Amino acid sequence: MKRKWVGLVAGVAMVGWAAAAMAGHGWGKGMGPGGGGVANPYAASYLGLTPEQTSQLQAMRERHFKEIAPLQEKLFAKKQELRLLWANPNPDASQITAKQKEITALQAQIQELSTKHQLEARSILTPEQQQKLSVMRGPGLGAGLGWGKRGRGW
């Protein structure tokens, strides 16, 4: 009886996670309100992007999202698998550790591609636009209000 309940709960959870995955991200492409970078209309205006630069950046952005989408899907699936491993009444440490390593490897791949994309996008900006972008982004690593994983807050 207990196994049936665990199976039922796991099945309902998987359906919920699948529905959430199909719905997509609430803020779209990982950008929150105000966004960040040149995809934001305010940023494009502030930087003084030409129409050609805007179209180049949009094409780069679309290419980047297409490139990382399969990795993000794999990452999502691996995280769900990890949750199921942890849901086991007797979790297997070696399986959990192996799954976590897979997740970390996928995250590293996505980060590497994102860094490559950001550098490529900066390369089409003029030196003046790059300076404005640096000012716009600020010094980084500072504390303060912002949009984090759990919404608006510190």
Q: Using one digit for the tens of pLDDT, what is the confidence trace for 59-111? A: 999 999 999 999 999 999 999 999 999 999 999 999 999 999 999 999 999 99
Task: Give Cβ neighbours of residue 92 (< 8 Å, ≥ 6 apart).
Answer: 85
Dihedral of alpha carbons 143, 145, 146, 152, sign: positive
Which of 22-26, 68-72, 116-120, 125-129 is least confident?
Answer: 22-26
State whether residue 151 is helix, strand or coil. Answer: strand
- Residue 13 covered by a domain: no
CA distance 38 to 58: 9
Closest CA to 34 of 154, 145, 125, 150: 145
Q: Tokens standing for 154?
A: 């510190």
- Residue 125 covered by a domain: yes
More confident residue, 149 or 119: 119
The CATH number that applies at residue 95 is 1.20.120.1490
pLDDT at 24 over 70: no
CA distance 154 to 146: 6
Position 39 scores a pLDDT of: 63
Query: The pTM is what?
Result: 0.64
CA distance 133 to 124: 12
- Residue 89 covered by a domain: yes
Alpha helices, DSSP H, located in 24-151 = 41-47, 51-87, 93-123, 127-137
- Residue 39 covered by a domain: no
pLDDT confidence of 11, banded at 50, 70, 90?
low
Which residue segment(s) compose the domain that 117 sits in?
Answer: 50-135
32 in Cβ contact with 39 (< 8 Å):
no
- Residue 121 covered by a domain: yes
- Residue 58 covered by a domain: yes
Counting the structural domains of the chain, the total is: 1
- Residue 27 covered by a domain: no
Q: Which amino acid is at 10?
A: A
- Residue 21 covered by a domain: no
